[in-house]
Every structure is written in structure tokens, then in C-alpha cells.
Structure 1
Amino acid sequence: MLSTIERRHEIVLRTQKLGNVSVKELAAEFDISTVTIRHDLNELNKLGLIVRSRGGAVASTRLTKELSVKEKHKENHKIKKQLGAAVAQFINDGDAVLLDSGTTTEEVAGCLGKHKDIIVMTNGLNIANELAGFENCDVLITGGQLRKKSMSFYGSHAEDILNDYNFNKVILGVDGIDLKSGISTHYEPEASFNRAMCDNADQIIVVTDSSKFGRRSLHSILQLNAIDILITDSGIPQEFIELFEKTNTQVHIVDAK
């Protein structure tokens, strides 16, 4: 039998795929009571992951769809290159950096060729490949199980290895960034690994294009007040700027043209 988290994950995926689901169908599918399913739907509705309807639920337009690495490369590519260059300015010679997997962080990696004596640990196979040609960059890979859709490593082994190092900075990409839910991603083991990355770095730097604001993925990583530096483009909504002013988060905005 699935755990509560696994069952709710499946409910969200099914709702997104079908457009709507009913309490009776879900109860029969998961072989549990309609009372439990209603509770699941109510909790998922509170998180904005589905929209509760009479007798069931419908898909939430705010929930992001997970794209493959190949698909992500095509999405907002020009802006991502600008963001990558901006992030690189916050990395100093001699830094030890944790660099998250993803296509925006891959652009960050591509801008580190002129840095000297830096150490970069990553859980992204594409990131390691990008860094491999830089003479003054020592590259470490976390290891763990490879998730091919995101080309990222995850798991307990990947998390445990972080405890052997002290990092100046962690650079995180996101799938969604929401006022209530904070930053989030689609896959629970990756969310867990991202939290471990943040626990083992002095400074948390989040980079995202503005299309991710106001969107949620299923698994939360951390709340917005934990972010030290946010790097994004000029499409960031004003309500987020106002929030980050209150949390003393340094916001660096790239003029996306």
C-alpha cells in the first residue's frame, strides 16, 4: 500500500493527466475510504496542487509541468544565459560551491571558465560535463542514483557525502516559486537533496527566470525567507519584490530584452 505522500503524489499526477477525478474513483483505485480521499483532496487543495470540486477535484493551472532536460533547454534559453552570467559574478576565486542540476545552473557553469581555484560539487551530470573543460576548476560529483529525466543524482549516498565538505555557496534552480509554498520541485528525492545542499552551505543563492513565479511544484524545498540572494529577470512580480525587501533577501534583477 502506498504511503500518504505517495498516494497524494499519484492523485496530483492523475488529476493533471485526466483534468478531473472523482472521490469514488480514487477510493476504488487506492482501496481506501472516501473519507480519506476527501481529506487528501482537501489538503492538496490548500497547497494549490488541485482545485476541489463537488465530488472530486480538477487540475490546478498553477501546478507546473515537469519538462525533460532537452525540453528545458528550449525554454527561455536567452534569459537563462543572462542569468547564468549574473550568477557567476557572485562566485569568487577560491570559492567552494554546490551547484544544483538544471539548465539554468548549466548556464552558470558555462560562465566559470575564467574563475581561479574554485571547487564545484554538483549533482548534475550535465553540469559536470560543462565544467570538465575548465583547467582552474576542480569538479566533484555527488554520486547516487541517476534520474535520467533531469540528468541529476539523488539519494541517501548523495546527501551523506555533503557532510564531508564545507561550502561557501549553494546555487539552486527551481521549478516553482510561490509566496506561500516557497521554492519547490517536482521530485521528492531531489527536494530532499536540495535541502541537504542548503544545510551544508554558508550562503543560499537562488536563480530563476520570472516565468516560475506564482507557480508550485509538488515538493517544497525551503521557504522564501531562507534565501540570501535571488537572481532573476525583470519580469519578477512586484509582490515578490516587496516580500524579499521584508526578508532582507538581496534581489539582483537582470534586464531581460
Structure 2
Amino acid sequence: MSTIERRHEIVQMTLRDGMVSVTHLANNFQVSEVTVRGDLNYLHKKKLLIRARGGALACNEVPKELSLNEKHCAQIDIKRKLAQLAKLQINEGEAIILDSGSTIAELASCLHSFERLVVMTNGLNVAQNLLNAPGIEVLMTGGVLRKTSLSFYGRQAEDSLERYHFDKAFLGVDGIDFNSGITTHFEYEAIMNRLMRRVAKEVITVADSSKFNRSGVHKICGLAEIDILITDSGIPDAFAQTLERNGVKLIIESLD
């Protein structure tokens, strides 16, 4: 298990049990207590848990990873509005990437009116939403299926992406934070998203404002490394100013 994977598991254990001890973690992961203390100090600095004597406590501000059904239900009306705004960024004849996020799955449902569009996705849910879209050629990355998110990952999925070049990549995220940047909970999802960024001319993040000031364990990219952010008017002013200062185009849906 890598350091990143171990730290992700520590956060999940802390959220599940409320608290963890250094001794228990060291035995569980077969590493030294010195290593565990380093992990806990790192995660404390990232505000992913609260360091305590002999271990750590769960941080109430840390969001757990939601199941696909939970993600679909959360903020659904806003997600559908953001999906409509994202659709306006797509032109006939383009080749685009859609990741497996719940907001991006809503975007896929909006695309049936296109007559010429190529869509690559690692999301089984996204592909299902495009089944009845005759004008869209759907490419799947293949790979290992992660059942909780209906997303594919792994070497096969990465190889599939590397063989193409796309006009735009649309990414959904779990958290947007000043220090951590754009993040997600699952390491291999972050790897896929970073690769999607590299093979696309333009990167568009679609995220409702509940994702701000939240941080997943795995970084996708810095705030300045996206081209467009589509969100709602609940975005904190400090984030809006920072993003615009770094050349990121903001498209904001009113909550009124």
C-alpha cells in the first residue's frame, strides 16, 4: 500500500470510528508508529482529521465519500442547471471527455440534441445516459470497474485516454480548496482526471458551491490549472476573486 492509499484509509477509518490510535494504525498497516504519527500530522495540517494525544479524532468538516445514488440526489436541481450551462460550452463536431461524476452524468443527459459529437468517458453511468443519443459516438476507456461510482480506472483506462486528443474535458470534483486545489476521494480517479487534463485542449470543472472549502485526499490539480469553472452563486467571494486573478473563466448560475 502506498503512502497516499494509507492516508486515505486512515481518514476513512477516522470518519467511521470517530477516533483512531497510533498503535492500532501501526498494527493495521504494518508500519512504525513514527510513520503513523507523520501521517496523522500531515492529515491534521490538511484539516482532514484532528490530531489528539495518542491518535486522532474525526473532523466534522471532512465530507465522507458519497455513494453514486447519494451524489445523484444531493443538490440535484443545481446540478441540472449547471449541466445546462456546461452544454453551452460544447460545439457540434467536437471530441470531448466526460468523467464519471454525478454532475457530469447530468451533462450527458443534456447532449441528445447534438448531431455530431464524440464523447470519451470512464463512467458507466455517463455512457448509459448517452445510449439513446444517435448523433453521439461514445468511446469507453475500459479498465477496472469501481462499483461504488460506476467508474473505470487502471492501466487499460489510462492507455485508452493516451491514444486520443480532445477539444475539452469536463471534470466533476469532490472538493475545491485554496491549499489543496481541485481534489477527489479516490486515488485512481485523481490519476484519471489528471490524464484527462493532459489530453484535452481545454479543462472545464463543473461543481456546485457546496464543494468549496472542502478537500478530498487526492489532488487533481491546482486552482489555476483549469480553464473554466461552472458553479452557482454560492461560491465564496474569496474563491471567485482568486480564480479570476489566475485567469480562470467563471460561469455562475444564480440561486435566486
CA contact (8 A) 2:4 2:187 kept: no
CA–CA separation in structure 1 for the residues paired with 2:198 and 2:166: 10
CA contact (8 A) 2:146 2:153 kept: yes
Aligned partner of 2:231 in structure 1 is 232
TM-score (norm 1): 0.96
Report SS of the residue matched to 2:148.
coil
Query: Structure 1: which 4+ aligned runs deviate by more than 4 Å?
Result: none
Paired amino acid for 1:24: T
Instruction: Report the Cα offset of residue 187 of structure 1.
Output: 0.9
Instruction: Report the Cα offset of residue 37 of structure 1.
Output: 1.5
Q: 1:207-245, CA deviations, whole angstroms, 9 ceiling, x for partnerless residues? A: 001111100111111111101000001110111001112
CA–CA separation in structure 2 for the residues paired with 1:102 and 1:50: 25
Instruction: Report the Cα offset of residue 112 of structure 1.
Output: 1.1
Q: Which runs of 5+ in 2 are unaligned?
A: none
CA–CA separation in structure 1 for the residues paired with 2:30 and 2:154: 29
Aligned partner of 1:14 in structure 2 is 13
Written as runs of structure 1 = structure 2, the 5 A alignment for 1:5-84 is: 5-84=4-83
Aligned partner of 1:89 in structure 2 is 88
Aligned partner of 1:201 in structure 2 is 200
CA contact (8 A) 1:62 1:216 kept: no
Report SS of the residue matched to 1:236.
coil
| Number of aligned residues | 256
RMSD over aligned Cα atoms = 1.3
Instruction: Report the Cα offset of residue 35 of structure 1.
Output: 1.8
Pairing 1:255–2:246 present: no
Report SS of the residue matched to 2:255.
coil
Q: 1:12-54, CA deviations, whole angstroms, 9 ceiling, x for partnerless residues? A: 1111111112223323333433222211111111222212122
Report SS of the residue matched to 1:114.
coil
CA–CA separation in structure 2 for the residues paired with 1:197 and 1:210: 23
CA–CA separation in structure 2 for the residues paired with 1:237 and 1:124: 30
Aligned partner of 2:184 in structure 1 is 185
CA contact (8 A) 2:12 2:64 kept: no
% identical aligned pairs: 51
Kindly tell me: are residues 4 and 163 of structure 1, through their superposed partners in 2, closer, same or farther at Cα, counting changes over 3 Å? closer
Aligned partner of 2:172 in structure 1 is 173
Aligned partner of 1:113 in structure 2 is 112
CA contact (8 A) 1:121 1:139 kept: yes
Q: Which runs of 5+ in 1 are unaligned?
A: none
Report SS of the residue matched to 1:112.
coil
CA–CA separation in structure 1 for the residues paired with 2:123 and 2:31: 38
Report SS of the residue matched to 1:66.
coil
